[in-house]
């Protein structure tokens, strides 16, 4: 994580310029939660805890991690009516998952909705390996990533990037590329199972 990246997101939370924070769990996550037996889940880049709350409401134990303290404070407020042993929301860096105290692996499900696509190329392979290391065998990883676009450096993952980074650790069960509703740009959903 760069200082510029951290400052950009800190500023956006302070000014409530967070179009990604819709307060709605995406249908792709709703579908996988309905399909799987409740277990342990991890939301990478959890923001204000919308998806952690959804998982808790559906019987899961759920943890979240985000690098913006204000987002984590908002998540804690959003989750305060759940027993604290059922969740943890941590202010930490997803590029250092192997050093993050407070995570409670192994997880049955990991979710990344718009977090990993902003990780610099130098940390992407480690991120993929670390996510796999936190999941049980056959655990599911749901990834939502914007595709690269003109004028945006160090941002986005193509389908080929996802295949290159994640197939050493995961079988990609399906993926779909479409238009992101908040940005009007190409983005993809990927469902993977740990090998």
pLDDT along the chain (195 residues), means of 10: 65 68 91 98 96 98 94 95 97 95 97 92 96 98 91 82 97 92 84 98
- At 21 the pLDDT is 77
Q: Dihedral of the CA atoms 20, 194, 175, 59 (nearest 10)?
A: -50
Q: Are 141 and 170 in contact (CB under 8 A)?
A: yes
Give the C-alpha separation, 161 to 190, whole Å: 12
At 19 the pLDDT is: 65
Angle (CA) 8 134 140, round 5°: 90
What pLDDT, on a 0 to 100 scale, did the predictor assign at position 37? Answer: 97
Dig out the tokens for 184 from the structure.
């009007």
Ranges of each domain in the chain: 30-194
Residue 161 exposure: Cα atoms within 13 Å on the Cβ side: 22
pTM beyond 0.85: the answer is yes
Gap between the Cα atoms of 61 and 79, Å rounded: 12
Pairing between strand 107-113 and 61-66? unpaired
What pLDDT is attached to residue 14? 73
- CATH architecture assignment, domain 30-194: 3-Layer(aba) Sandwich (3.40)
| Nearest residue to 52 (alpha-carbon basis) of 36, 35, 64 | 64
What pLDDT is attached to residue 1? 55
Closest CA to 168 of 130, 195, 137: 195
């Amino acid at each position: 994580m760069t200082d510029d990246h951290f400052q950009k997101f800190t500023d956006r939370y302070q000014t409530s310029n967070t179009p990604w924070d819709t307060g709605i769990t995406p249908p792709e996550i709703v579908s996988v939660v309905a399909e799987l037996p409740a277990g342990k889940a991890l939301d990478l880049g959890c923001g204000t805890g919308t998806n952690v709350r959804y998982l808790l409401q559906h019987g899961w134990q759920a943890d979240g991690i985000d690098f913006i303290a204000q987002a984590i404070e908002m998540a804690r407020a959003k989750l305060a009516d759940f027993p604290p042993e059922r969740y943890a929301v941590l202010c930490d860096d997803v590029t250092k998952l192997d050093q993050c105290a407070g995570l409670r692996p192994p997880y049955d499900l990991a979710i990344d909705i718009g977090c990993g696509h902003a990780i610099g190329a130098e940390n992407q392979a480690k991120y993929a390996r670390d996510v796999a290391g936190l999941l049980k065998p056959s655990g599911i990883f749901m990834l939502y990533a914007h595709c690269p676009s003109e004028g945006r450096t160090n941002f986005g993952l193509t389908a080929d990037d996802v295949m290159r980074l994640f197939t050493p650790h995961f079988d990609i069960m399906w993926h779909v590329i479409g238009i992101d509703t908040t940005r009007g740009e190409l983005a993809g959903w990927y469902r993977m199972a740990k090998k």
